[in-house]
Amino acid sequence: MEKLKLRVPPPLVFVGFAVLMWLVALVLPGNVDLHGTETAFLVIGLGAGGYFSFTGFFEFRRARTTINPFHPEETTALVSGGIYSKTRNPMYLGLQIILLGWAIFLGNLFAIPVALGFAAYITEFQIKPEEEILEENFGKEFLAYKARVRRWI
């Protein structure tokens, strides 16, 4: 499992989980009638998730630091303002919100735990390794930020 750390691009992990959720919804029982509201949940998920993801992306661009998930050691600035004062991982949080909207849209109870599996995977194989590198690079500044701002929300 160690070799999965910082190896699979988060957008690919996101797509993989979305497809897995769709397959689960096709195969497993647990469909729920949402009385036509499922599209609204998808739109809300896309809107809120897109907001978090793009806001996080633009904060990184403004700080002129890398967003390359394979090389967090190339980070030149600790971004802690804007959306990063509320969550340490807005881009991943955005993807998670989109997956939850997708799970509700699919209308299958088993899709929700699969969506939450994304958070577990990203935390273990992307976020924790990134945080180790940020702690090495920014030391006490990162530790203070980490104590002040939650990982997800």
Each residue of 110-146: pLDDT tens digit? Answer: 999 999 999 999 999 999 999 999 999 999 999 999 9
Each residue of 64-106: pLDDT tens digit? Answer: 999 998 888 899 999 999 999 999 999 999 999 999 999 999 9
Q: How far apart are CA 21 and CA 111, in angstroms?
A: 5
Q: How far apart are CA 55 and CA 59, in angstroms?
A: 6
Task: Give domain limits for the chain.
Answer: 49-153
pTM for the model stands at: 0.94
In angstroms, the Cα distances linking 91 to 51, 70, 108, 112 are 9, 15, 25, 20
> Which positions ≥6 away from 7 have C-beta within 8 Å?
70, 125
Q: How far apart are CA 105 and CA 45, in angstroms?
A: 10
CA 152 to chain CA centroid, Å, is 8
49-153 has which fold?
Four Helix Bundle (Hemerythrin (Met), subunit A) (1.20.120)
